[in-house]
């Protein structure tokens, strides 16, 4: 009898936890710091050209790719142009071909829903500047199964049009 009561309380407790946790799990825009202010990336980048997730909950945006480059690259490492301005250990997406246009980059692993980052249907070039772990991309389909594509570690893709994936990625798992 005592066990049943404990079980019942446990179930009730789980029920409450699930209910309160639900709002936090809803899809919401990613909050980033830009010029000392907090902005919701899903509503636009407010002029920023590069946004970097240093860790979950720590996203910072910059006016230029060069500025992001300086902030994300280890001190002493020489800055570079093109795909190499995606620093070591980061995964980078660009809005345009040949690693140009707005740049979104992550160092933290996880599933990233690009609508929350104002990047859904916008990726054209990709560089995974890390030696291990690739990336899986998903294109949501209203009918039938979602499309999936895979990107290898240390691989660069200058134009996803080559694979038919230009401006199609909705979600990445990195
Ligand atoms: Ca899509």
Q: What is the 3-state secondary structure (H, E, C) of 36-93?
A: CEEEEHHHCCCCCCEEEEEECCEEEEECCHHHHHHHHCCCCCCCCCHHHHCCCCCEEE
Distance 52 CA to ligand 1 centre (A): 22
Identify which has the larger pLDDT, 71 or 96. Answer: 96
User: Is residue 19 situated within a structural domain?
Assistant: no
Q: What is the CATH number of the domain that holds 102?
A: 2.60.20.10
Distance 169 CA to ligand 1 centre (A): 5
Distance 117 CA to ligand 1 centre (A): 14
User: Is residue 74 situated within a structural domain?
Assistant: yes
Distance 1 CA to ligand 1 centre (A): 54
Q: What is the dihedral of CA 55, 146, 93, 74, to 10 degrees?
A: 30
Mean pLDDT of 72-79: 77
User: Is residue 150 situated within a structural domain?
Assistant: yes
Distance 137 CA to ligand 1 centre (A): 10
Instruction: Provide the domain limits for residue 141.
Output: 30-173
User: Is residue 155 situated within a structural domain?
Assistant: yes
- CB neighbours (10 Å) of residue 56? 11
User: Is residue 48 situated within a structural domain?
Assistant: yes
End-to-end CA distance of the chain: 48
Distance 146 CA to ligand 1 centre (A): 9
Q: Could you give the number of structural domains in the chain? A: 1
Return all residues near 108 (Cβ < 8 A) that are at least 6 apart: 53, 54, 55, 56
Distance 115 CA to ligand 1 centre (A): 10
pLDDT at 172 over 90: yes
8 A C-beta contact, residue 41 and residue 118: yes
How does pLDDT run across 37-62, given as a tens digit for each residue? 999 999 999 999 999 999 999 999 99
How does pLDDT run across 82-106, given as a tens digit for each residue? 888 899 999 999 999 999 999 999 9
User: Is residue 14 situated within a structural domain?
Assistant: no
User: Is residue 17 situated within a structural domain?
Assistant: no
User: Is residue 93 situated within a structural domain?
Assistant: yes
Percent helix, strand, coil in the chain (nearest 5)?
25, 30, 40
Confidence label for 174 from pLDDT (cuts 50, 70 and 90): very high
Distance 138 CA to ligand 1 centre (A): 8
Specify the pTM.
0.82
Identify which has the larger pLDDT, 1 or 58. Answer: 58
């Amino acid at each position: 009898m005592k066990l049943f009561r404990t079980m019942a309380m446990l179930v009730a407790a789980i029920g409450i936890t699930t209910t309160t946790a639900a709002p936090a799990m809803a899809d919401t825009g990613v909050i980033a710091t830009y010029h000392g202010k907090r902005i919701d990336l899903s509503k636009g980048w407010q002029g920023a050209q590069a946004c970097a997730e240093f860790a979950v909950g720590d996203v910072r945006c910059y006016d230029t790719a060069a500025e992001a480059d300086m902030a994300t690259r280890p001190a002493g490492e020489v800055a570079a142009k093109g795909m190499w301005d995606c620093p070591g250990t980061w995964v980078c997406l660009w809005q345009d071909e040949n690693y140009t246009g707005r740049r979104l980059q992550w160092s933290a692993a996880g599933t990233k829903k690009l609508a929350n980052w104002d990047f859904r249907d916008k990726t054209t070039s990709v560089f995974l500047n890390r030696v291990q772990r690739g990336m899986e991309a998903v294109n949501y389909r209203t009918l039938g199964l979602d499309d999936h594509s895979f990107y290898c570690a240390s691989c660069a893709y200058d134009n996803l049009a080559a694979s038919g994936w230009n401006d199609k990625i909705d979600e990445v798992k990195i």
